[in-house]
Amino acid sequence: MSKYLITGGAGFIGSNLVEKIVSQGDDVVIVDNLSMGKLENIIHFSKKHVSFYKEDITNFNFMEKLLVSENFDYIVLLGAVASVANSVQDPQKTHLINQEANLNIYEIIRKNNLKIKKLLFASSAAVYGDEPTLPKSEESVIRPLTPYAIDKFASEKYALAYGKLYNIPTVATRFFNVYGPKQNPESQYSGVLSIIKDRLVSDEVFTMYGDGNQTRDFTYIDDVIEAMLILLHDHNVKWDVYNVATGKSTSLNEIIKTFEKVANKNLKIKYEAKRQGDIEKSQADVNKIREKVGFNTKISLEEGLKRYYGRKQD
Ligand code: NAD
Ligand code: UD1
Protein backbone atom coordinates (compact mmCIF):
# COMPACT_ATOMS: atom_id res chain seq x y z
CA MET A 1 0.00 0.00 0.00
CA SER A 2 1.29 3.48 -0.91
CA LYS A 3 0.52 6.89 0.56
CA TYR A 4 -0.11 9.90 -1.68
CA LEU A 5 -0.22 13.62 -0.98
CA ILE A 6 -2.42 15.45 -3.49
CA THR A 7 -2.52 19.23 -3.29
CA GLY A 8 -5.66 20.56 -4.97
CA GLY A 9 -7.21 17.11 -4.46
CA ALA A 10 -10.75 18.46 -4.04
CA GLY A 11 -10.59 20.06 -7.50
CA PHE A 12 -11.40 18.70 -10.93
CA ILE A 13 -8.30 16.70 -11.86
CA GLY A 14 -7.41 16.06 -8.21
CA SER A 15 -10.69 14.47 -7.14
CA ASN A 16 -10.75 12.24 -10.24
CA LEU A 17 -7.19 11.15 -9.42
CA VAL A 18 -8.10 10.45 -5.77
CA GLU A 19 -11.00 8.28 -6.94
CA LYS A 20 -8.69 6.15 -9.08
CA ILE A 21 -5.98 5.83 -6.41
CA VAL A 22 -8.48 4.83 -3.71
CA SER A 23 -10.01 2.23 -6.03
CA GLN A 24 -6.54 0.68 -6.28
CA GLY A 25 -6.38 0.30 -2.47
CA ASP A 26 -3.95 3.12 -1.65
CA ASP A 27 -4.22 6.00 0.85
CA VAL A 28 -4.46 9.71 0.06
CA VAL A 29 -4.01 12.93 2.00
CA ILE A 30 -5.63 15.95 0.34
CA VAL A 31 -4.71 19.58 1.00
CA ASP A 32 -7.13 22.02 -0.62
CA ASN A 33 -8.48 25.42 0.45
CA LEU A 34 -11.75 24.81 -1.48
CA SER A 35 -11.35 28.04 -3.45
CA MET A 36 -12.38 26.09 -6.57
CA GLY A 37 -12.52 22.53 -5.30
CA LYS A 38 -15.61 21.16 -3.59
CA LEU A 39 -16.19 19.02 -0.54
CA GLU A 40 -18.85 17.11 -2.48
CA ASN A 41 -16.12 15.90 -4.87
CA ILE A 42 -14.41 14.01 -2.05
CA ILE A 43 -16.91 13.57 0.79
CA HIS A 44 -17.95 10.10 -0.31
CA PHE A 45 -14.44 8.63 -0.01
CA SER A 46 -13.78 6.36 2.99
CA LYS A 47 -12.20 8.35 5.84
CA LYS A 48 -10.02 5.33 6.51
CA HIS A 49 -8.25 5.85 3.18
CA VAL A 50 -8.66 9.57 2.46
CA SER A 51 -7.78 12.40 4.87
CA PHE A 52 -8.70 15.96 3.99
CA TYR A 53 -7.14 19.19 5.28
CA LYS A 54 -8.92 22.41 4.36
CA GLU A 55 -5.70 24.39 4.26
CA ASP A 56 -3.86 26.79 2.03
CA ILE A 57 -0.72 25.42 0.38
CA THR A 58 0.89 28.81 1.13
CA ASN A 59 0.76 27.88 4.84
CA PHE A 60 4.39 26.82 4.81
CA ASN A 61 4.54 25.69 8.46
CA PHE A 62 1.51 23.48 8.00
CA MET A 63 2.95 21.95 4.82
CA GLU A 64 6.30 21.25 6.51
CA LYS A 65 4.72 19.53 9.52
CA LEU A 66 2.51 17.46 7.24
CA LEU A 67 5.30 16.34 4.91
CA VAL A 68 7.72 15.52 7.70
CA SER A 69 5.18 13.55 9.75
CA GLU A 70 3.46 11.55 6.99
CA ASN A 71 6.26 9.89 4.96
CA PHE A 72 4.50 10.12 1.62
CA ASP A 73 5.47 7.75 -1.17
CA TYR A 74 4.05 9.96 -3.92
CA ILE A 75 3.38 13.70 -4.08
CA VAL A 76 1.16 15.21 -6.77
CA LEU A 77 1.11 19.01 -7.00
CA LEU A 78 -2.20 20.10 -8.54
CA GLY A 79 -3.08 22.87 -6.08
CA ALA A 80 -3.11 26.12 -8.04
CA VAL A 81 -5.18 28.94 -9.40
CA ALA A 82 -5.89 27.08 -12.64
CA SER A 83 -7.19 30.03 -14.60
CA VAL A 84 -4.91 31.93 -16.97
CA ALA A 85 -7.35 34.89 -16.96
CA ASN A 86 -7.43 34.96 -13.15
CA SER A 87 -3.63 35.25 -13.05
CA VAL A 88 -3.84 38.25 -15.37
CA GLN A 89 -6.28 39.92 -12.92
CA ASP A 90 -4.34 39.02 -9.79
CA PRO A 91 -0.69 38.28 -10.64
CA GLN A 92 0.94 38.55 -7.22
CA LYS A 93 -1.62 36.46 -5.35
CA THR A 94 -1.53 33.73 -7.98
CA HIS A 95 2.29 33.77 -7.93
CA LEU A 96 2.37 32.90 -4.22
CA ILE A 97 0.16 29.88 -4.86
CA ASN A 98 1.32 28.79 -8.30
CA GLN A 99 5.03 29.14 -7.74
CA GLU A 100 6.24 29.92 -4.21
CA ALA A 101 4.11 27.27 -2.52
CA ASN A 102 5.58 24.63 -4.84
CA LEU A 103 9.15 25.80 -4.27
CA ASN A 104 8.47 25.56 -0.54
CA ILE A 105 7.44 21.93 -0.93
CA TYR A 106 10.60 21.07 -2.91
CA GLU A 107 12.63 22.80 -0.21
CA ILE A 108 10.92 20.85 2.59
CA ILE A 109 11.77 17.60 0.79
CA ARG A 110 15.41 18.68 0.32
CA LYS A 111 16.02 20.07 3.81
CA ASN A 112 14.46 17.10 5.57
CA ASN A 113 15.97 14.58 3.16
CA LEU A 114 12.52 13.01 2.66
CA LYS A 115 12.60 9.75 0.73
CA ILE A 116 9.76 9.85 -1.76
CA LYS A 117 9.16 7.56 -4.73
CA LYS A 118 8.02 10.33 -7.11
CA LEU A 119 6.82 13.91 -7.16
CA LEU A 120 4.66 14.99 -10.11
CA PHE A 121 4.16 18.67 -10.86
CA ALA A 122 1.19 19.67 -13.02
CA SER A 123 2.50 22.19 -15.55
CA SER A 124 0.65 23.50 -18.55
CA ALA A 125 0.58 23.96 -22.31
CA ALA A 126 0.32 27.66 -21.46
CA VAL A 127 4.14 27.73 -21.18
CA TYR A 128 4.41 27.55 -25.00
CA GLY A 129 2.58 30.85 -25.44
CA ASP A 130 1.81 32.18 -28.89
CA GLU A 131 4.88 31.21 -30.93
CA PRO A 132 3.05 30.05 -34.08
CA THR A 133 4.76 26.70 -34.86
CA LEU A 134 2.42 23.76 -34.23
CA PRO A 135 2.21 21.12 -32.85
CA LYS A 136 4.07 21.92 -29.62
CA SER A 137 6.69 19.37 -28.62
CA GLU A 138 8.51 19.47 -25.30
CA GLU A 139 11.44 21.00 -27.22
CA SER A 140 9.37 23.83 -28.74
CA VAL A 141 10.10 27.47 -27.99
CA ILE A 142 8.79 28.52 -24.59
CA ARG A 143 7.13 31.92 -24.71
CA PRO A 144 4.92 32.39 -21.64
CA LEU A 145 2.45 35.27 -22.04
CA THR A 146 0.84 35.44 -18.61
CA PRO A 147 1.73 35.26 -14.91
CA TYR A 148 0.11 31.80 -14.87
CA ALA A 149 2.39 30.52 -17.64
CA ILE A 150 5.52 32.08 -16.12
CA ASP A 151 4.80 30.50 -12.73
CA LYS A 152 4.05 27.11 -14.28
CA PHE A 153 7.32 27.17 -16.21
CA ALA A 154 9.31 28.21 -13.13
CA SER A 155 7.68 25.58 -10.90
CA GLU A 156 8.27 22.93 -13.54
CA LYS A 157 11.93 23.86 -13.95
CA TYR A 158 12.42 23.96 -10.17
CA ALA A 159 10.86 20.51 -9.84
CA LEU A 160 13.22 19.05 -12.43
CA ALA A 161 16.33 20.93 -11.25
CA TYR A 162 15.70 20.06 -7.58
CA GLY A 163 15.23 16.50 -8.67
CA LYS A 164 18.61 16.30 -10.39
CA LEU A 165 20.55 18.42 -7.91
CA TYR A 166 19.28 16.70 -4.78
CA ASN A 167 18.38 13.27 -6.16
CA ILE A 168 14.61 13.52 -5.74
CA PRO A 169 12.58 11.60 -8.38
CA THR A 170 10.46 14.27 -10.05
CA VAL A 171 8.44 14.60 -13.26
CA ALA A 172 6.40 17.41 -14.79
CA THR A 173 3.37 17.13 -17.05
CA ARG A 174 2.22 19.80 -19.48
CA PHE A 175 -1.53 19.24 -19.57
CA PHE A 176 -3.40 20.79 -22.45
CA ASN A 177 -7.14 21.49 -22.01
CA VAL A 178 -8.60 18.85 -19.75
CA TYR A 179 -12.38 18.40 -19.46
CA GLY A 180 -14.87 16.07 -17.81
CA PRO A 181 -16.92 15.44 -14.67
CA LYS A 182 -16.26 17.49 -11.53
CA GLN A 183 -14.86 20.54 -13.31
CA ASN A 184 -16.42 23.45 -11.42
CA PRO A 185 -18.39 25.73 -13.83
CA GLU A 186 -19.33 28.38 -11.27
CA SER A 187 -16.63 30.98 -11.85
CA GLN A 188 -16.02 33.28 -14.81
CA TYR A 189 -12.55 31.69 -14.67
CA SER A 190 -13.77 28.09 -15.01
CA GLY A 191 -12.66 25.83 -17.87
CA VAL A 192 -14.59 26.66 -21.03
CA LEU A 193 -16.22 23.23 -21.55
CA SER A 194 -17.59 23.19 -17.99
CA ILE A 195 -19.18 26.58 -18.70
CA ILE A 196 -20.56 25.44 -22.08
CA LYS A 197 -22.05 22.32 -20.50
CA ASP A 198 -23.61 24.39 -17.72
CA ARG A 199 -25.13 26.84 -20.23
CA LEU A 200 -26.46 24.02 -22.41
CA VAL A 201 -28.17 22.43 -19.41
CA SER A 202 -29.58 25.72 -18.04
CA ASP A 203 -30.35 27.34 -21.43
CA GLU A 204 -28.41 30.43 -20.34
CA VAL A 205 -26.23 32.50 -22.65
CA PHE A 206 -22.58 31.55 -23.15
CA THR A 207 -20.11 34.42 -23.54
CA MET A 208 -17.54 33.78 -26.27
CA TYR A 209 -14.34 35.80 -25.84
CA GLY A 210 -13.14 36.36 -29.41
CA ASP A 211 -14.53 34.83 -32.59
CA GLY A 212 -14.44 31.17 -31.53
CA ASN A 213 -11.68 30.29 -33.99
CA GLN A 214 -9.14 29.82 -31.18
CA THR A 215 -8.11 26.16 -30.96
CA ARG A 216 -7.27 23.86 -28.06
CA ASP A 217 -6.17 20.23 -27.63
CA PHE A 218 -9.15 19.09 -25.55
CA THR A 219 -8.32 15.97 -23.51
CA TYR A 220 -10.74 13.82 -21.53
CA ILE A 221 -10.03 13.45 -17.80
CA ASP A 222 -9.78 9.62 -17.77
CA ASP A 223 -6.94 9.75 -20.30
CA VAL A 224 -5.14 12.35 -18.18
CA ILE A 225 -5.47 10.26 -15.00
CA GLU A 226 -4.08 7.22 -16.80
CA ALA A 227 -1.07 9.21 -18.05
CA MET A 228 -0.39 10.60 -14.56
CA LEU A 229 -0.39 7.15 -12.98
CA ILE A 230 1.96 5.77 -15.64
CA LEU A 231 4.40 8.65 -15.15
CA LEU A 232 4.23 8.33 -11.36
CA HIS A 233 4.86 4.60 -11.27
CA ASP A 234 7.42 4.09 -14.06
CA HIS A 235 10.86 4.05 -12.36
CA ASN A 236 12.59 5.08 -15.57
CA VAL A 237 10.63 8.34 -15.68
CA LYS A 238 12.38 11.12 -13.79
CA TRP A 239 13.67 14.66 -14.23
CA ASP A 240 11.72 15.07 -17.42
CA VAL A 241 8.65 16.85 -18.80
CA TYR A 242 5.83 15.32 -20.87
CA ASN A 243 2.97 16.77 -22.88
CA VAL A 244 -0.30 15.07 -21.94
CA ALA A 245 -2.89 15.54 -24.69
CA THR A 246 -4.51 13.97 -27.74
CA GLY A 247 -2.38 15.59 -30.45
CA LYS A 248 -5.51 16.99 -32.14
CA SER A 249 -6.70 20.56 -32.14
CA THR A 250 -10.30 21.78 -32.25
CA SER A 251 -11.68 25.30 -32.40
CA LEU A 252 -14.26 26.49 -29.92
CA ASN A 253 -16.72 26.88 -32.79
CA GLU A 254 -16.19 23.23 -33.80
CA ILE A 255 -16.44 21.84 -30.30
CA ILE A 256 -19.63 23.79 -29.66
CA LYS A 257 -21.15 22.18 -32.77
CA THR A 258 -20.22 18.71 -31.51
CA PHE A 259 -21.50 19.49 -28.02
CA GLU A 260 -24.80 20.79 -29.45
CA LYS A 261 -25.18 17.52 -31.36
CA VAL A 262 -24.47 15.46 -28.22
CA ALA A 263 -26.90 17.56 -26.14
CA ASN A 264 -29.44 17.84 -28.97
CA LYS A 265 -29.78 21.55 -28.15
CA ASN A 266 -28.49 24.86 -29.47
CA LEU A 267 -26.18 27.00 -27.35
CA LYS A 268 -27.09 30.67 -27.01
CA ILE A 269 -23.95 32.72 -27.61
CA LYS A 270 -22.98 36.37 -27.16
CA TYR A 271 -19.62 37.69 -28.26
CA GLU A 272 -17.11 39.80 -26.33
CA ALA A 273 -13.52 40.88 -27.02
CA LYS A 274 -10.74 38.28 -26.87
CA ARG A 275 -9.19 37.96 -23.39
CA GLN A 276 -5.80 39.53 -22.72
CA GLY A 277 -3.00 36.97 -22.88
CA ASP A 278 -5.28 34.38 -24.52
CA ILE A 279 -3.48 31.87 -26.75
CA GLU A 280 -4.85 31.66 -30.29
CA LYS A 281 -3.80 28.16 -31.36
CA SER A 282 -2.81 25.16 -29.28
CA GLN A 283 -2.03 21.57 -30.24
CA ALA A 284 0.33 19.03 -28.69
CA ASP A 285 2.97 16.83 -30.23
CA VAL A 286 2.49 13.63 -28.21
CA ASN A 287 5.36 11.55 -29.61
CA LYS A 288 7.48 11.73 -26.47
CA ILE A 289 4.96 10.23 -24.05
CA ARG A 290 3.98 7.67 -26.69
CA GLU A 291 7.54 6.58 -27.36
CA LYS A 292 8.94 6.72 -23.82
CA VAL A 293 6.09 5.14 -21.84
CA GLY A 294 3.68 3.86 -24.51
CA PHE A 295 0.84 6.17 -23.54
CA ASN A 296 -1.90 7.07 -26.04
CA THR A 297 -5.20 8.79 -25.30
CA LYS A 298 -8.20 6.54 -25.97
CA ILE A 299 -11.24 8.79 -25.77
CA SER A 300 -12.38 10.75 -28.82
CA LEU A 301 -13.86 14.21 -28.44
CA GLU A 302 -17.37 13.04 -29.24
CA GLU A 303 -17.13 10.13 -26.80
CA GLY A 304 -15.71 12.41 -24.09
CA LEU A 305 -18.47 14.96 -24.56
CA LYS A 306 -21.09 12.20 -24.45
CA ARG A 307 -19.70 10.85 -21.19
CA TYR A 308 -19.47 14.36 -19.75
CA TYR A 309 -22.95 15.45 -20.78
CA GLY A 310 -24.42 12.17 -19.55
CA ARG A 311 -23.24 12.97 -16.03
CA LYS A 312 -25.83 15.67 -15.35
CA GLN A 313 -25.04 15.89 -11.63
CA ASP A 314 -21.44 17.01 -12.29
P1 NAD B 1 -9.15 23.07 -10.17
O2 NAD B 1 -9.31 24.53 -9.91
O3 NAD B 1 -10.37 22.24 -10.18
O4 NAD B 1 -8.13 22.44 -9.11
C5 NAD B 1 -7.18 23.19 -8.40
C6 NAD B 1 -7.47 22.96 -6.92
O7 NAD B 1 -6.51 23.70 -6.15
C8 NAD B 1 -8.85 23.45 -6.50
O9 NAD B 1 -9.52 22.42 -5.81
C10 NAD B 1 -8.58 24.62 -5.60
O11 NAD B 1 -9.55 24.76 -4.56
C12 NAD B 1 -7.20 24.29 -5.07
N13 NAD B 1 -6.44 25.45 -4.64
C14 NAD B 1 -6.31 26.65 -5.28
N15 NAD B 1 -5.55 27.48 -4.55
C16 NAD B 1 -5.19 26.79 -3.44
C17 NAD B 1 -4.42 27.12 -2.30
N18 NAD B 1 -3.85 28.33 -2.16
N19 NAD B 1 -4.27 26.19 -1.34
C20 NAD B 1 -4.84 24.97 -1.44
N21 NAD B 1 -5.58 24.61 -2.50
C22 NAD B 1 -5.75 25.50 -3.49
O23 NAD B 1 -8.34 22.93 -11.52
P24 NAD B 1 -7.87 21.62 -12.29
O25 NAD B 1 -8.35 21.77 -13.67
O26 NAD B 1 -8.21 20.41 -11.52
O27 NAD B 1 -6.29 21.84 -12.30
C28 NAD B 1 -5.41 21.08 -11.49
C29 NAD B 1 -3.98 21.48 -11.83
O30 NAD B 1 -3.68 21.16 -13.18
C31 NAD B 1 -3.70 22.97 -11.68
O32 NAD B 1 -2.39 23.11 -11.19
C33 NAD B 1 -3.78 23.49 -13.09
O34 NAD B 1 -3.01 24.66 -13.27
C35 NAD B 1 -3.21 22.32 -13.85
N36 NAD B 1 -3.65 22.28 -15.25
C37 NAD B 1 -4.98 22.11 -15.52
C38 NAD B 1 -5.39 22.07 -16.85
C39 NAD B 1 -6.83 21.91 -17.25
O40 NAD B 1 -7.11 21.99 -18.45
N41 NAD B 1 -7.75 21.67 -16.32
C42 NAD B 1 -4.42 22.17 -17.88
C43 NAD B 1 -3.08 22.38 -17.54
C44 NAD B 1 -2.70 22.40 -16.21
C1 UD1 C 1 -6.79 26.03 -19.75
C2 UD1 C 1 -6.82 25.75 -18.25
C3 UD1 C 1 -5.44 26.02 -17.68
C4 UD1 C 1 -4.42 25.21 -18.47
C5 UD1 C 1 -4.50 25.49 -19.98
C6 UD1 C 1 -3.61 24.54 -20.76
C7 UD1 C 1 -8.76 26.14 -16.82
C8 UD1 C 1 -9.65 27.14 -16.18
N9 UD1 C 1 -7.76 26.63 -17.59
O10 UD1 C 1 -6.51 27.41 -20.00
O11 UD1 C 1 -5.40 25.60 -16.31
O12 UD1 C 1 -3.15 25.45 -17.98
O13 UD1 C 1 -5.84 25.24 -20.41
O14 UD1 C 1 -3.80 24.68 -22.12
O15 UD1 C 1 -8.92 24.95 -16.65
N16 UD1 C 1 -13.57 31.17 -23.11
C17 UD1 C 1 -14.74 31.76 -23.60
N18 UD1 C 1 -15.78 31.91 -22.73
C19 UD1 C 1 -15.71 31.52 -21.41
C20 UD1 C 1 -14.53 30.92 -20.95
C21 UD1 C 1 -13.48 30.76 -21.83
O22 UD1 C 1 -14.82 32.13 -24.76
O23 UD1 C 1 -16.71 31.69 -20.68
C24 UD1 C 1 -12.45 30.99 -24.06
C25 UD1 C 1 -11.16 31.60 -23.55
O26 UD1 C 1 -11.06 32.97 -23.86
C27 UD1 C 1 -10.12 30.74 -24.30
C28 UD1 C 1 -10.80 29.38 -24.39
O29 UD1 C 1 -12.19 29.60 -24.18
O30 UD1 C 1 -9.92 31.23 -25.59
C31 UD1 C 1 -10.31 28.40 -23.35
O32 UD1 C 1 -10.37 29.05 -22.08
P33 UD1 C 1 -10.11 28.28 -20.71
O34 UD1 C 1 -11.02 27.12 -20.60
O35 UD1 C 1 -10.08 29.28 -19.61
O36 UD1 C 1 -8.70 27.60 -21.00
P37 UD1 C 1 -7.22 28.12 -21.25
O38 UD1 C 1 -7.06 29.57 -21.05
O39 UD1 C 1 -6.80 27.49 -22.53
Q: Are residues 126 and 274 in the same domain?
A: no
* pLDDT at residue 311, as a whole number: 65
Q: Are residues 279 and 173 in the same domain?
A: no
Q: Are residues 206 and 263 in the same domain?
A: yes
Q: State which amino acid sits at residue 47.
A: K
> How far apart are alpha carbons 292 and 298 in whole angstroms?
17
Q: What is the CATH number of the domain that holds 257?
A: 3.90.25.10
Q: What is the mean pLDDT of residues 181-187?
A: 96
**Interval 139-177: pLDDT, tens:** 999 999 999 999 999 999 999 999 999 999 999 999 999
- Quickly state the pLDDT bin for 286 (edges 50, 70, 90): very high
**Interval 55-109: pLDDT, tens:** 999 999 999 999 999 999 999 999 999 999 999 999 999 999 999 999 999 999 9
pLDDT above 50 for 44:
yes
* pLDDT at residue 13, as a whole number: 98
Q: Are residues 256 and 206 in the same domain?
A: yes
* pLDDT at residue 194, as a whole number: 98
Number of separate helices (H) and strands (E) present in the chain: 11, 13
pLDDT above 70 for 2:
yes
Domain count along the chain: 2
Q: What is the mean pLDDT of residues 216-231?
A: 98
The three-class DSSP label of residue 60 is helix
Residue 61 is assigned to a structural domain of this protein: yes
Q: What is the CATH number of the domain that holds 81?
A: 3.40.50.720
Cβ atoms of residues 24 and 88 within 8 Å: no
What positions carry a catalytic annotation?
A: 148
Ligand 2 pocket residues where CB is under 6 Å = 82-84, 124-126, 175-177, 189-192, 195, 207-210, 214, 216, 252, 275, 278, 282
Q: What is the DSSP letter of 99?
A: I
> How far apart are alpha carbons 269 and 79 in whole angstroms?
32
Sort 39 into a burial class: Cβ within 10 Å, 0-12 / 13-18 / 19+: exposed
Q: Is the pTM of this model over 0.95?
A: yes
* pLDDT at residue 242, as a whole number: 99
Q: State which amino acid sits at residue 39.
A: L
Q: Are residues 88 and 206 in the same domain?
A: no
What is the extent of the structural domain holding 208? Answer: 180-216+248-284+299-310
Closest approach atom of ligand 1 to CA 37: 9
Closest approach atom of ligand 2 to CA 183: 15
Ligand of minimum distance to the alpha carbon of 93: 1
Q: What is the mean pLDDT of residues 283-295?
A: 98
